[in-house]
Amino acid sequence: MPSQQLISTVETIKQARPENLMARHFDGDYYLSLNPVLRQRLQKIIASGVENPDSSMGAYAMNPQDYDQFAPLFDAMIHDFHGIPSSVEIKQIHDWDTTRTDCDLAAIDPDLADVSMRVRVARNVSTFPLPGAMDKQQRIDFENLAASAFNELARDPAFGGKYLSITPGSPHEIGAGEYDRRVKAHQMFKDMSADRYLNVAGISGDWPYGRGMYVSNDEEFLVWVGEEDHLRIMAMQRGGNLGELFERLNTGLEKLTLYLPPFATSPKYGAITSCPTNLGAGMRASLHMKLPKLTGNGSDLTRLKQEASHLGVAVRGAGGEHSDAGEDGLVDISPSARLGVTEMQIMQKLYEAAAALWKLETGDKRG
Ligand code: DAR
């Protein structure tokens, strides 16, 4: 798109969609100061937010270096989204040590001793472009690299499992029936080519080549390959001990780093991810709670979202992004902050929010 047309298009979006952070912070003079090659690269980075004006972030990095290369735009968007004042220097620290904090949900209430808990981290290796800029062969090459790492991981009895590929012709290829079953079981990710944001960004390119999932024998440790990031590493379980869940994820992550090229990281932004919303710890930690009183039996999340926001957590239906609450008030709660906070602080936030919401829901029966 010619420069002046792009600048006026973004300005129109900025007026119509103030929530589009790319449009809010895009500066035409900065764009014109770039050489033609960098302008082309920046056009691809913001394409999703231009083609989808209803975007909240509106940009995806194509290479780990993009966050530094295009810092004037990315820094402004990142400070805004993550609620960090522009005067505050961002410096990501990692700390998985949860021994110094409460972890046992049953200690809040026996009814919370058996809830669905899931925690995941996003990681990209430094030797490939980010998913939005990969070509088909790179996607397949990365998948093969990941599959060889899983062969090593599977030798550990605590993480034994198998790799399931949806790449046509892969030696690990599964059929459509198993793929659908795993999606319905909330294990495998959905067809990315149905996501208009990821399509424009190129992240869903060459679907389904280079995509798959490692699943442990107990089906409580999963690794997505080729979704929005190179890897989404997750631990999940029904129970009440958040500390155990975090420990399993951290151990699995550490083992995987032995068998893979270095991850793309930054002293400022921590784990480098496609979407700026996932920078930092790159972690989404969540648990499901039944809150029928706070949700009007699942009919209205307004009050719960307000209470949750004050507690630093986001609420959504238990069926994933954009899903509704169950009739029994079943919802997914997850700490909002991911950048500038450590893994332990994210877990602590989740625990404290669960305790506070349960107190609101039950009126704290114990007085
Ligand atoms: N739809 C894009 C991404 C929002 C954040 N969610 C991710 N990364 N899965 C937008 O900018 O609205």
Output the domain CATH number for residue 25.
1.10.135.10
225 found inside a domain: no
Sign of CA dihedral 89, 95, 96, 98: negative
197 CB within 6 A, ligand 1: yes
Quote the ligand 1 centre to 33 CA distance (angstroms).
28
pLDDT at position 365 is 54
Ligand 1 center to 275 CA (angstroms)? 7
Q: 286 forms bridges with which residues in the sheet?
A: 118
The pLDDT value recorded for residue 367 is 44
Judge if the beta carbon of residue 55 lies within 6 A of ligand 1: yes
Q: Find out whether 229 and 273 touch, Cβ atoms under 8 Å.
A: yes
d(CA 212, CA 4) in angstroms, rounded, equals: 41
Q: Which pair of structure tokens corresponds to residue 101?
A: 């904090």
SS (H, E, C) 227-261: CCCCEEEEEEEEECEHHHHHHHHHHHHHHHHHHCC
Q: How far is the CA of 277 from the centre of ligand 1 (A)?
A: 7
Angle 195-289-367 (CA atoms, 0-180°, nearest 5)?
150
For 127, the token pair is: 């030797």
CA 340 to chain centre: 16
Q: Structure tokens of 107?
A: 């200690």
CA distance 257 to 275: 22
Domain coverage including residue 14: 3-81
Q: How far apart are CA 315 and CA 304, in angstroms?
A: 8
* CA–CA distance, 140 with 146 (Å, rounded to integer): 10
- Whose Cα sits closest to atom 10 in ligand 1? 55
What pLDDT is stored for residue 186 in this prediction? 87
Amino acid symbol at 23: A
Q: Is the CB of 199 under 6 A from ligand 1?
A: no
**Cα–ligand 1 centroid distance for 198 (angstroms):** 9
Closest residue (by CA) to atom 8 of ligand 1? Answer: 275
122 is a domain residue: no
Q: Look at residues 136, 116, 30 and name the one whose alpha carbon lies nearest to residue 77.
A: 30
Going residue by residue through the chain (367 aa), what tens digit of pLDDT does each one get?
A: 899 999 999 999 999 999 999 999 999 999 999 999 999 999 999 999 999 999 999 999 999 999 999 999 999 999 999 999 999 999 999 999 988 888 999 999 999 999 999 999 999 999 999 999 999 999 999 999 999 999 999 999 999 999 999 999 999 999 999 999 999 998 999 999 999 999 999 999 999 999 999 999 999 999 999 999 999 999 999 999 999 999 999 999 999 999 999 999 999 999 999 999 999 999 999 999 999 999 999 888 899 999 999 999 999 987 776 677 887 899 999 999 999 999 999 999 999 999 999 999 998 655 4
Residue with tokens 């909240």: 56
Q: Tell me the CA distances in angstroms from 361 to 180, 181, 334, 365, one per residue in order.
A: 36, 34, 17, 10
pLDDT of the residue at 230: 98
Total number of domains constituting the chain:
1
- With CA atoms as reference, report the closest residue to 307 among 323, 319, 289, 321: 289
125: in domain: no
For residue 212, is it within any domain?
no
Nearest atom in ligand 1 to the alpha carbon of residue 55 is 12
Q: CA-to-CA distance for 166 and 117, rounded, in angstroms? A: 26
Residue 333 in domain? no
* Burial class of residue 221 (count of CB atoms within 10 Å of its CB; 0-12, 13-18, 19+): buried
Whether 89 maps to a domain, the answer reads no
Ligand 1 mutation target, pool 57, 124, 229, 322, most atoms within 8 A of CB: 57
- Which structure tokens are listed for 151? 């062969």
Does some domain include residue 75? Answer: yes
Contact 287, 105 (CB under 8 A): yes
Question: Does ligand 1 come within 6 angstroms of the Cβ of 52?
Answer: no
The H helix count followed by the E strand count for the chain is 12, 10
Could you tell me if residue 96 is inside a domain? no
Tell me the C-alpha distance between 293 and 83, whole Å.
30
Q: What is the best residue among 277, 283, 338 to mutate for testing ligand 1's pocket, by most ligand atoms within 8 Å of CB?
A: 277
User: 317 pairs with which residues across the strands?
Assistant: 331
Contact (CB, 8 A) for 271 and 281: yes
Burial-class residue 258 by CB neighbours within 10 Å (0-12, 13-18, 19+): exposed
Phi, psi of 121 (to 5 degrees): -125, 145
Render pLDDT for 286-339 as a digit per residue (tens, 0 to 9). Answer: 999 999 999 999 888 899 999 999 999 999 987 776 677 887 899 999 999 999
For ligand 1, the distance from its centroid to the CA atom of residue 101, given in whole angstroms, is 31
